[in-house]
Amino acid sequence: MTDQDSGRRPKYQRIADELRTAIQSGDFAPGDRLPGENDLMSTYDVARMTARQALSVLRNEGLAEARKGAGVFVRTFRPLRRRGIPRLAHAHWGAGRSVWSADIEDRSLLVDQIEVRAAAPAGARVARVLDLASPDAAVCVRSRRFVLDEKPVLFSVSYLPAALAEGTAIAEPDTGPGGTYARLTELGHRPVHFREEIRCRMPTAEESARLSLEFGTPVILISRTALTEAGVPVELNEMTLDSASYVLEYDFDA
């Protein structure tokens, strides 16, 4: 960027550029407090709104986080690496491990806000994906939030044909070792093929509240369909991820 181009940029963006460079160079380490609004006003001779906008840029980029009553700090970023292929291997959940355990390593995971509805109307979209007879067909709906290191990172809603889940652990809050896929396997409906669609957008107000998102943080939407060897869809799982907490990793041979 030339000096002329830099001069055309708003002051708050130029301040954010300097702070970003300082963070990336290590002048401000993870957990360090960044200069506050008063400091930036004095250093750069700008109005409070300009200083506030500069700090907001860094927060929106996921580089910084605000702590109530304390200031704005460099974010300690230890991303969740969602390894899209090995996490769904039968060797993993077939051995009684949760699909999610592949992502968290040695970190503390809490699953809360668990809600299970044994028989709810599928609706047109879910019925189409699960190849159900009509939108009125019953599905088992499992919703839960995943909290890692005391920070909500993901909200997940699964839909399964009610005829498969009725009277089984799938319709219970705790599905047991290996989770839903292990139970489906025991019932003779082992998932052997998965299809995922990934999108990114800004969150709704409900999503922002549920995931405690910083203002301006997008969400990643992953829609996964699990199918049996015969190609029968047995689950639709719709996940909403905090984009500032995840790295999506896909490792495969050509």
Q: Which CATH number does the domain housing residue 63 bear?
A: 1.10.10.10
Co-location of 43 and 107 in the same domain: no
Co-location of 42 and 161 in the same domain: no
Residues in a beta bridge with 110: 147
Q: What does residue 147 show for φ and ψ, rounded to 5 degrees?
A: -115, 120
Contacts of residues 227-233 at CB distance under 8 Å and 24 or more positions apart, as own/partner, are: 227/191, 227/192, 227/193, 227/194, 227/195, 228/189, 228/190, 228/191, 228/192, 228/193, 229/190, 229/192, 229/193, 231/193, 232/131, 232/189, 233/129, 233/130, 233/131
User: Rounded to the nearest 10 degrees, what angle do helices 11-25 and 37-44 cross at?
Assistant: 110
Co-location of 31 and 93 in the same domain: no
User: In CATH, what number is assigned to the domain containing residue 142?
Assistant: 3.40.1410.10
Q: How far lies 53's CA from each of 20, 122, 140, 173, 202, in Å?
A: 14, 44, 45, 44, 19
Q: Is 44 domain-assigned?
A: yes
Co-location of 113 and 69 in the same domain: no
Q: Which of 41, 74, 107 is at the close of a domain?
A: 74
Q: How far lies 39's CA from each of 29, 42, 62, in Å?
A: 18, 5, 21
Q: Is 115 domain-assigned?
A: yes
pLDDT score of 35:
95
Entry pTM: 0.76
Q: What is the pLDDT along the chain (254 residues), one digit of tens a residue?
A: 444 455 688 999 999 999 999 999 999 998 999 999 999 999 999 999 999 999 999 988 778 888 888 999 998 767 777 776 666 666 655 666 666 666 666 777 889 999 999 999 999 999 999 999 999 999 999 999 999 888 899 999 999 999 999 999 999 999 999 899 999 999 999 999 999 999 999 999 999 999 998 777 899 999 999 999 999 999 999 999 999 888 888 877 77
Co-location of 49 and 106 in the same domain: no
Co-location of 43 and 92 in the same domain: no
Q: Is 150 domain-assigned?
A: yes
Q: Which of 51, 74, 97 is at the close of a domain?
A: 74
Task: Give the pair of three-digit tokens for residue 6.
Answer: 């830099």
Co-location of 65 and 175 in the same domain: no
Chain mean position to CA 175: 22
Co-location of 211 and 95 in the same domain: yes
Q: Is 254 domain-assigned?
A: no
pLDDT score of 249:
84
User: Total structural domains in the chain?
Assistant: 2
* Domain span holding position 10: 3-74
178: left (phi over 0), alpha (psi -120 to 50) or beta: left
Q: Which of 17, 39, 74 is at the close of a domain?
A: 74
For residues 55 and 68, is the Cβ–Cβ distance under 8 A?
A: no
Co-location of 87 and 194 in the same domain: yes
pLDDT score of 1:
44
